Copies of this chain bind each other. A is one copy, B any other.
Amino acid sequence: MTPDEARARDAADPLRGYRDAFHLPEGVIYLDGNSLGPLPRSTPAALSDIAERQWGERLIRSWNEGWIEAPRRVGGKIAKLIGAAEDEVIVADSTSVNLFKLLVAALRHAAPRTTILSETGNFPTDLHIAEGAAGCVPGARLNAVPRAALSDALDETTAIVMLTHTHYKTSECFDMSAWSAKAQQAGALMLWDLSHSVGAIPIDLNAAGADLAIGCGYKFLNGGPGAPAFLFVSRRLQDQLASPLSGWMGHAAPFGFADAYAPAPGMTRWLAGTPPMLGLAALEAGLDIWEDVDQQQVATKSAALFDEMAEIGASLGLECVSPADPARRGSHISFRHPEAYALCQALIARGVIGDFRDPDILRFGLTPLYLGFEDVVRAGEILGDILATDAHRDPAFQQRNAVT
């Protein structure tokens, strides 16, 4: 695609208007919205309002003026993006903490079954937290096996199948319906990590028959760095699971101040401490952009941006590790390259922000709401120029940062 062709595609893009909803810095092509989504233009005003009016002027009274409902209200806005009912999703804590809560609860529910089944190479915090959760339930354990061995490992000891819908490195997706059915037929609960899927590709948890899910607010939902995360519990399980993190905000009567814990009905029981209102306000501003977005248009554009980037990669001799079939992938594309780290740094120095994943993955997020075809074509030109001139072999690009 030539730059002129790319501009023409952008002009005809039905999602083009959403680009104006985001602040995209001058001189930057941002291909890392799958790691940290950019700032919505509406967010500074939302933060101002919650800080200066709601906190500053209304003070403690704001708890009765919208704050106490915020975890459920914002959860309801996420529910619409993942095929859940409004009362099946709540916003709380971080993705890691939410996963811990659901895993411990599900392990207890599934006794005498003992095993969390997952795949090696899953996003590390999922495996780490699963180890931690298993350590809190006598006899429980994590069994992580390669993807190809998952089916064989699913047996009568499996309590929960815990899978990440879209893989953080390869972008490969599991078939949500097929795996949910397979887990349940084996008598296990199915838990999905939606962190790299929500806001990127269409998800329908209830159509797929999923039991449990968690996900992240700061990637495709543009909720800000370390945004609060969400969790989903199917209505049919809501009364049967209780949080091990039995904090006061999940109590049936949090302001009754009783010594004994009694879980609240519905999703409220998954709250622990006081809701992080500044983070919730920013997440809600990010979610409000999604209100009228056509998810099918998002999927179509994601596939087209991917195809363009895949073609550029192929023309540069890069090995693409992401699936060719749009139905089997998320909205990022990854290439394997022995100098992936230095390439990533050289790209950043030229204003193209993607990211690196150990040991050899160069990853580009293709976020349909604000990226255009011209962005992808220009990023490809810069990547081609770096490779042609060996610009990434500058020693300055070899030195590792804390986070890439």
Contact = CB atoms under 8 A, between A and B. Distances in A.
A63 B403 contact: yes
A64 B403 contact: yes
B97 A97 contact: yes
A124 interface: yes
A67 B225 contact: yes
Given A23-B56, A124-B259, A276-B226, A244 B93 contact: no
B51 A124 contact: no
Interface in A36-85: 36, 38-39, 43-44, 47-48, 50-52, 55-57, 59-64, 67-68
A274 B55 contact: no
Nearest to A137: B136
Most B CB atoms within 10 A — which of A48, A120, A255? Answer: A255
A51 B63 contact: no
Contact of A128 (B100, B261, B348, B403): B261
A401 interface: yes
Given A59-B30, A273-B229, A247 B94 contact: yes
A404 B144 CA distance: 48
A21 interface: no
Interface in A64-118: 64, 67-68, 93-97, 100, 104
A56 B35 contact: no
Given A25-B57, A136-B136, A358-B255, A273 B94 contact: yes
Contacts of A123: 248
A383 interface: no
A67 B280 CA distance: 19
A59 B222 CA distance: 11
Number of copies: 2
Contact of A247 (B44, B128, B249): B128
A278 B247 contact: no
Contact of A355 (B60, B228, B357): B60
Interface string A244-265: 1111110100111111110000
A264 to B, nearest CB: 12
A35 B60 contact: yes
Contacts of A274: 94-95, 218, 225-226
Most B CB atoms within 10 A — which of A61, A254, A273, A358? Answer: A273
A28 B59 contact: yes
Most B CB atoms within 10 A — which of A43, A274, A355? Answer: A274
Contacts of A96: 245, 247-249, 272-273
19 contacts: A25-B57, A28-B59, A30-B59, A44-B56, A47-B47, A48-B48, A63-B225, A93-B93, A95-B274, A100-B247, A100-B272, A104-B136, A124-B254, A124-B258, A131-B246, A135-B244, A255-B403, A255-B404, A276-B276
Interface of A: 23, 25, 28, 30, 32, 35-36, 38-39, 43-44, 47-48, 50-52, 55-57, 59-64, 67-68, 93-97, 100, 104, 120-125, 127-129, 131-132, 135-138, 144, 218, 224-229, 243-249, 251, 254-261, 272-280, 282, 348, 353, 355, 357-358, 401-404
Given A93-B273, A97-B97, 15 more contacts: A32-B59, A43-B51, A51-B224, A94-B276, A96-B245, A122-B259, A125-B249, A128-B248, A128-B251, A135-B244, A136-B136, A225-B276, A226-B277, A227-B276, A278-B278
In the A-B complex, the 5 residue pairs with the closest CB atoms = A94-B273, A96-B247, A125-B248, A136-B136, A39-B56
